[in-house]
A and B are shown apart, each in its own frame.
Chain A
Amino acid sequence: DGGITQSPKYLFRKEGQNVTLSCEQNLNHDAMYWYRQDPGQGLRLIYYSQIVNDFQKGDIAEGYSVSREKKESFPLTVTSAQKNPTAFYLCASSAGLAGVGEQFFGPGTRLTVL
């Protein structure tokens, strides 16, 4: 079953803790993205990676970190520095050159900070 997966589906975290969200794809896509979705708002870009071992900050990168050691994987760490981390997080990947082309989304992880 090809596609993009995220785990876990639901995640609860205590304040002050770091937590890592997993994103894996077997679509052989070079580009991967992390978005945050809040109620009534669109998807806001946290980080993106055009290729292995390279990533760029998006519009709301503060309090987040990523790595891209493998083509298939793009984990997102939500650090204690993120002021309001409770949200729905979506990972996506695309094969398009220069970012042009369909982004395929994972099922999302809902993070709740207690």
Chain B
Amino acid sequence: GENVEQHPSTLSVQEGDSAVIKCTYSDSASNYFPWYKQELGKRPQLIIDIRSNVGEKKDQRIAVTLNKTAKHFSLHITETQPEDSAVYFCAATGGFKTIFGAGTRLFVKA
């Protein structure tokens, strides 16, 4: 069946450094790729998304890139801050079905 692989599972960076999280998906019908942030004990919240007709999207310190040919998309966080520490989930949506990656736990050390 369809799946989304996410790497790494854990990422530790120094405050101010960049963080990159990578995902690959299997369903070629996927056309929408959101990223969610889940802080400890809280609900997931959308931080950025990209549609299949766009290769890159940026929102302040966060950017997402999409390579449809390779079925690969990535989240880039620049100038990381301690409040960026959370679990990040990528997802791929085709129709009403969204498949989530297993998550990346990001630690930003002050």
Measured CB to CB, the residues of A under 8 A from B are: 31, 33, 35, 40-45, 48, 50, 56, 58-59, 90, 96, 98-103, 105-108
* Nearest-Cβ distance from residue A105 to partner chain B, whole angstroms: 4
Measured CB to CB, the residues of B under 8 A from A are: 1, 4, 6, 9, 31-32, 34, 42-46, 49, 51, 89, 93-103
A105→B44 CA distance, assembly (Å): 6
A92→B102 CA distance, assembly (Å): 18
From B44, B45, B97, B103, residue with most partner A Cβ within 10 Å: B44
Chain B residues whose C-beta falls within 8 Å of the C-beta of A44 in the assembled complex: 100
A88→B1 CA distance, assembly (Å): 23
A40 touches B102 (CB 8 A): yes
A44→B101 CA distance, assembly (Å): 9
12 residue pairs of the A-B complex, CB under 8 angstroms, read A35-B100, A40-B9, A42-B101, A43-B44, A45-B97, A58-B97, A90-B43, A98-B96, A103-B46, A103-B98, A105-B44, A107-B43
Contact (A45, B98) CB under 8 Å given A99-B32, A99-B93, A102-B49: yes
Contact (A42, B100) CB under 8 Å given A100-B51, A106-B43: yes
A102→B50 CA distance, assembly (Å): 11
The one of B6, B32, B43, B93 that contacts A42, using a Cβ cutoff of 8 Å: B6
From B31, B98, B102, residue with most partner A Cβ within 10 Å: B98
